Amino acid sequence: MKQQNIYILAIESSCDDTSAAVLCNNKVLSNVVATQKVHEEYGGVVPELASRAHQQNIVPVVHQALLKANIVKKQLDAIAFTRGPGLLGSLLVGTSFAKSLALGLQIPLIEVNHMQAHILAHFIDEGQKMPEFPFLALTISGGHTQIVLVKNHFEMEILGETLDDAVGEAFDKSAKLLGLPYPGGPLVDKNAQKGNEKAFIFPKPKVDGLNFSFSGLKTSILYFLQRNTAQDPAFITSHINDICASIQFTILEILMDKLKKASESTGIKQIAIGGGVAANSGIRQRLSDAEKELGWKTFIPKFEYCTDNAAMIGIVGYLKYLNDDFAKQSIAAKARYVI
Ligand code: KG4
Ligand code: ZN
């Protein structure tokens, strides 16, 4: 018989957020995220700067997470950490920290796949309805775009993924072309709400199966802007809302086409969304329309569990703890780590 309350410290450092969380079973006691500002002026994440910032942040972030949870290290039952996928230098910081702490405290170590964690974030208990197996998960962020068939907590199959840019990158790169600051996704969303989504037409890529491609869209936006600003230098400022609405419309069409295809081919109508782009007002509207029109049941976790965070690593840690699925001290970070 397992003990009643399992306390897990979870650590996430796969990209540009240093995060630590403490969970008691499937409930979050604390979830601290230090977002690295250093990348803003470069218009994207600089890997070397990210790992240096993780090194600076990790000790205070873990300390904060324990304080907020009102837990002392001695009470911890296990340490869960993101093994991959992600930037190797960033992953190394969280991995070495987790390994040393687990060794020092003489408690088990649990390795977590970041993509699996985005999906299992739906099982963090916030009193909400949780998806039932099997369901489809759409993970959309600055680093990922995947449609996954989730058979149970640990059996997942990637049905489709991006062949080039992630959807968040498509938002951010389009925003950059419009002169908007990084990350531009939320600003595109904000402007789009005031614009006409049919004002301009951008081509949708032809990609087989359930895979995605977003790099062509960026190029067509670039040419579109070059053409129009050559005739009217103020074109972008005077049409910003319509341009944003049309870009967002195209991106959402690409996502929804594939999601509908995945639902039709599997017969599954439970759709769980995760990743930072789940904050987009347009995708939320489309999903709510699909509930009415297609009979889907859709799930979106609380926003803090959508973006990169350690609470989602902690829930996987808890589920693996129950399965006695522990990692050895010799485990290494894995930049490419398929679900
Ligand atoms: O999950 P996340 O915080 O970090 C990773 O990339 O893993 O996602 C950040 C991404 C960025 O590309 C950001 O522009 C995008 O999510 N994003 C949005 C919105 N909010 C965040 N994109 C479109 N509309 C939004 N409202
Ligand atoms: Zn992520």
pLDDT score for 36: 84
* DSSP β-bridge partners for residue 30: 22
What's the pLDDT at 3? 65
The secondary element (H helix, E strand) that includes residue 118 is helix 114-120
Beta-bridged to residue 22, according to DSSP, are 9, 30
Assess if residue 281 is contained within a domain.
Answer: yes
Q: Is residue 117 part of a domain?
A: yes
Helices (H) and strands (E) in the chain, counts: 10, 10
Same domain, 39 and 187: no
Number of domains the chain contains: 2
Atom number in ligand 1 closest to CA 183: 14
Residues 104 and 141 in one domain: no
Point out the ligand 1 atom lying closest to the alpha carbon of residue 190: 26
Residue 335: inside a domain, yes or no? no
pLDDT of residue 327: 98
Nearest CA to ligand 1 atom 8: 276
Residue 327 falls inside a structural domain: no
Q: What is the CA(142)–ligand 1 centre distance, in A? A: 5
Kindly identify the ligand whose nearest atom is closest to the C-alpha of 279: 1
328 inside domain: no
133-165 CB burial, b ≥16 within 10 A, e <16: ebbbbbbbbbbbbbbbbbeebeebebbbbbebb
pLDDT at residue number 2? 56
Q: Are residues 40 and 157 in the same domain?
A: no
Rounded to an integer, what distance in angstroms lies between the CA atom of residue 238 and that of residue 64? 46
Between the CA of 52 and the centroid of ligand 2 the distance, in Å, is: 19
Range of 44's domain? 7-121+308-322
The alpha helices in 179-326, defined as continuous H runs, are 185-192, 215-231, 235-266, 281-294, 303-306, 311-322
Decide: 287 and 314 in contact? Cβ < 8 Å: no
- Lining ligand 1 with CB less than 6 A are 15, 141-143, 168, 171-172, 183, 185-186, 189, 275-277, 279-280, 307-308
d(CA 300, ligand 1 centre) in Å: 14
Classified as helix, coil or strand, 302 is coil
Shared domain for 216 and 267, answered yes or no, is yes
CA–CA dist 253, 245 (Å, integer): 12
Within a domain: 2: no
The secondary structure of 252-282 as a DSSP string is: HHHHHHHHHHHHHHH---EEEEESGGGG-HH
CA distances from 300 to 124, 127, 130, 297 (A): 12, 13, 10, 10
Same domain as 134, residue 70: no
Write out the chain's pLDDT in tens, 339 residues: 556 899 999 999 999 899 999 999 999 999 999 988 888 888 778 898 999 999 999 999 999 999 999 999 999 999 999 999 999 999 999 999 999 999 999 999 999 999 999 999 999 999 999 999 999 999 999 989 999 999 999 999 999 999 999 999 999 999 999 999 988 999 999 999 999 999 999 999 999 999 999 999 999 999 999 999 999 999 999 999 999 999 999 999 999 999 999 999 999 999 999 999 999 999 999 999 999 999 999 999 999 999 999 999 999 999 999 999 999 999 999 999 998
The closest alpha carbon to 275, from 127, 168, 134, belongs to 168
User: Is 57 a domain residue?
Assistant: yes
In the reported structure, the alpha carbon of residue 171 is separated from the centroid of ligand 1 by a whole-number distance in angstroms of 8
Phi, psi of 69 (to 5 degrees): -80, -10
Q: Are residues 155 and 287 in the same domain?
A: yes
Residue 321: per-residue pLDDT: 98
Same domain, 202 and 249: yes
The verdict on 297 and 221 lying in the same domain is yes
What pTM was estimated for this model as a whole? 0.94
**Same domain flag for 61 and 149:** no
> Closest Cα to atom 24, ligand 1: which residue?
280
Residue 323 CB neighbour total at 10 angstroms = 11
Number of Cβ within a 10 Å radius of residue 197: 18
CA 203 to chain CA centroid, nearest Å? 26
Largest CA distance in the chain: 74
**CATH number of the domain residue 74 falls in:** 3.30.420.40
Same domain, 195 and 85: no
The reply to whether 116 and 144 lie within a common domain is no
Tell me whether residue 330 is in a domain. no
Asked whether residue 49 falls in the same domain as residue 34, the answer is yes
Q: For residue 308, how far is its CA from the centre of ligand 2 (angstroms)? A: 5
- Kindly give the pairing relationship between strand 270-274 and strand 135-140: parallel
